[in-house]
Amino acid sequence: MNQTASSPSPSLGTPGGIVLAGTLMMVGAQAVFALVNFLYDVLTNPWNPLLSGANITSASAVFWQYLIATIFALPLILRIGLNKLRTRHPVLHEVRALVSALGAQVFAFGFASGVPVWQMVGLLMTGPFFVIAGSVLFLGEKLTAARIGASLVAFVGAALIIGAGAESFSLASLLPVLAAALWSTTTVIGKYLSREEEPESLTLYLLLLISVNHALIGLALVGLAVVLPAGTLPASLTSGWDFGFPMGPATVWLIALGLVTAGAQYLLWSAYKRADATYLQPFDDLKLPFNLLIGWVLLSQVPGLWFWPGAALIVGASIYIARREG
């Protein structure tokens, strides 16, 4: 895709305008994903004052999150028609959803293993590098000095925000890196599929198949726990697979979680439909300042001193690459 700006203010019908639309959608996706994380924290954190006593396990929340998101995404069929849902790559869609579901479980297991939150989020920022490598090797995208530089600057900004190096690393610290690699694989496969398929079909297939794969992963882990000797698998891997639908105030929060998840996924794949994955990666790091800002505004979690210079680097890198190529 040609991403050289043809004019200072490209219209949406020009190549530059299409990339600009993809840029805005990527930024919007990261903002909505931050809201997803906030709602997920409200539902699963037993100490959260907004919904104390809900007692919803992370496995159950993830299952219902994507199932409800699928229901909210069904009207997208009316937008494109059933014919556009036909795919020549059903196996790739399943692999994409399975890898995404595995990434979610690995990430959740990292939290359960006691990896500090700053370390989890910070190491997840390695994701753009996996995406860039996969996009260059398997998609044939152009790797420019500007894209490399912007991604590195954004990563430094993320490191400043989380205070990388403040605590020692453990073997469990590799779990968020593994999750980042798995989710990056999902991104690269999705970008490949976007060459032939619409964002609506990419969103629907992912949401529906993720729900199925989460259930299958849970059944497989519980089955292994029964067959294998006691203690072979960590208890955090085999517990919490209760898929009963929560009632009471938690219902509203869970429905809201599904709704914003559907919106975030649609924005994300709409962005990848319009712009190169290597170009969009600096904007992916915006998820970190967005998450911290929502925590500040909604949970009174005041950002640390290094938040501001770190966020400035991320935003600056995003603006630079957008102006240079978009």
Q: What is the pLDDT of residues 189-226, one digit of tens each?
A: 999 998 888 888 999 999 989 989 988 888 888 888 88
Q: What domain range includes position 214?
A: 15-325
What b/e sequence results for 239-276 when a residue is b if at least 16 CB atoms lie within 10 Å of its CB, and e otherwise? ebbeeeebeeebeebbebbbbbbbbbbbbbbbbbbbbb
d(CA 284, CA 269): 13
Summarize pLDDT for 26-50 with one digit per residue, the tens: 999 999 988 988 888 778 766 666 6
In a domain, 3, yes or no: no
Question: Does 9 map to a domain?
Answer: no
Alpha-carbon distance 43 to 45, whole Å?
A: 6
Residue with the larger pLDDT of the pair 16 and 188: 188
Q: Which two tokens stand for residue 15?
A: 């190549």
- CA proximity to 318, closest of 144, 131, 155: 155
CA neighbor of 281 nearest in space, from 103, 120, 158, 99:
158
Q: What torsion do the CA atoms of 78, 84, 86, 87 make, to the nearest 10 degrees?
A: -130
Q: Whole-model pTM?
A: 0.80
131-145, 159-173, 292-306: which has the minimum mean pLDDT? Answer: 159-173
Asked if residue 8 is part of any domain, the answer here is: no
- What is the C-alpha end-to-end distance of the chain, expressed in Å? 11
Instruction: For residue 118, give both structure tokens.
Output: 């700053």
Upper half-sphere CA count for residue 26 (Cβ side, 13 Å): 27
CA pair distance 313, 79, nearest whole angstrom: 38
Q: What is the pLDDT of residue 50?
A: 61
Q: To 10 degrees, what angle do helices 174-193 and 277-284 make?
A: 140
Residue 114 pLDDT exceeds 90: no
**Is 118 exposed, middle or buried, given 0-12, 13-18 or 19+ CB atoms closer than 10 A?**
middle
Examine residue 1 and state whether it is found in any structural domain, yes or no. no
Does an H or E element contain 69, and which? helix 58-73
Structurally, how many domains does the chain consist of? Answer: 1
Query: Per the domain annotation, does 6 fall within a domain?
Result: no
Q: Show the tokens assigned to 311.
A: 């966020």
Residues 43, 46, 48, 49, CA torsion sign:
positive
Label residue 52 by pLDDT band (50, 70, 90).
Answer: low
DSSP 133-186: HHHHHHS-----HHHHHHHHHHHHHHHHHHTTTSS---GGGHHHHHHHHHHHHH
Given this model, what pLDDT does residue 20 score? 85
In a domain, 295, yes or no: yes
> What is the predicted pLDDT for the residue at 170?
67
Residue 4 has pLDDT above 50, yes or no: no
Q: Quote the pLDDT of residue 26.
A: 94
- CB-based contact 44:262 (threshold 8 Å): no
Query: What is the percent of the chain where pLDDT is above 70?
Result: 80
Q: Can you tell me the mean pLDDT for 138-147?
A: 84
Cα 14 to Cα 11, 21, 135, 275, distances in angstroms: 6, 10, 24, 13
